[in-house]
Amino acid sequence: MTSPDLDHVADDPPPPARRYTKGDRTKERIVEAAADLFSKSGYLAVSQRDIAAQAEITHAGLLHHFPGGKDELLMQVLERRDADDAVVLFDEHLDAWGHLDQTVRIVERNARTPGLVALYAKLSNEASDVNHPAHTYFRRRYEILREHFATVLGELVDRHGDRSALDPDTVAQQLIALLDGLQTQWLLAPETIDMRARLVDFLALLGVDTTGWRTDSA
């Protein structure tokens, strides 16, 4: 197509964009394919060959990058998503209200990405089997989430402590349960369920004033 000299120019410049070896790039392609398919069909229903096909590779080629097969891939997918969430959830600079605000925004984002939501919803329940590859992952995930929200809610009670006997730990369990349960209903009937609105309702029930929060940020 082009002369050798121009080709050299067309290539990604070595230092900035090309610290990825080709393998790294295909690895990412594979993880993305896996995330996509897992989202659509859950974990159990997807095969290595399915993922490989979507990543335009042979299933043996996939095994070359992920010898652990689907299990390894799954953890990769989960951790990648978690990294994103952690950034916004555990921002040290935010106070309790800020954290709750972030939570609402995550819900807003979820409402825009049904695939990922479906993945987590399916998996967090599939994973109740002790032998499921993601079992300990999800146990831990919920521990962390409960602790996080307990802290946030505790802070809230301390300062604005209107509703007395609210135990941060148990309310945290309820908050998380609400979010999960809303997802289940929303996935089955998106037009019927407004996850964000129900979250805000619940916060209001707790005595958190959410008036003045942005409705959306996109």
Partner DNA sequence: CGCATAACTAACCATGTGGTAAGTTCTGCC
Partner DNA sequence: GGCAGAACTTACCACATGGTTAGTTATGCG
Which of DNA, a copy of itself, none interacts with 96 (beta carbon under 5 to 8 A by kind)? none
Interface map 82-101 toward a copy of itself (x if CB under 8 A) = --------------------
Considering only the stretches 11-19, 102-110, 140-148, 149-157, report the one whose residues sit in contact with a copy of itself under the rule CB under 8 A.
140-148
Are 123 and 135 in contact by the 8 Å Cβ rule? The answer is no
The span from the CA of 110 to the CA of 104, in Å, is 10
Q: Whole-number minimum distance, CB 207 to a copy of itself, in Å? A: 10
214 token code pair? 């942005």
Interface map 51-90 toward DNA (x if CB under 7 A) = ------xxxxx-xxx-x-xx--------------------
Considering only the stretches 10-18, 49-57, 93-101, 176-184, report the one whose residues sit in contact with a copy of itself under the rule CB under 8 A.
176-184
Contacts of 186 (CB under 8 A, 6+ apart): 111, 117, 192, 193, 195
The span from the CA of 155 to the CA of 153, in Å, is 5
Interface map 5-44 toward DNA (x if CB under 7 A) = ---------x------xxxx-x------------------
Which of a copy of itself, DNA, none interacts with 54 (beta carbon under 5 to 8 A by kind)? none
Give whichever of 11 and 71 is closer to a copy of itself, judged by the CB atom.
Answer: 71
Task: Give one DSSP letter per residue of 43-112, joined into a string.
Answer: TTT--HHHHHHHTTS-HHHHHHH-TTTHHHHHHHHHHHHHHHHHHHHT-TT--HHHHHHHHHHHHHHHTT
Contacts of 145 (CB under 8 A, 6+ apart): 172, 176
Q: Whole-number minimum distance, CB 121 to a copy of itself, in Å? A: 4
Are 171 and 151 in contact by the 8 Å Cβ rule? The answer is no
Binding-site member from 6, 44, 60, 86 for a copy of itself (CB under 8 A): 44
Indicate whether 185 belongs to the interface with a copy of itself (CB under 8 A).
yes
Crossing angle for the helix pair 195-206 and 96-110, nearest 10 degrees? 160
Binding-site member from 28, 40, 42, 47 for DNA (CB under 7 A): 47
Give whichever of 94 and 213 is closer to a copy of itself, judged by the CB atom.
Answer: 213
Q: Give contact residues for DNA (rule: CB under 7 A).
A: 14, 21-24, 26, 47-50, 57-61, 63-65, 67, 69-70
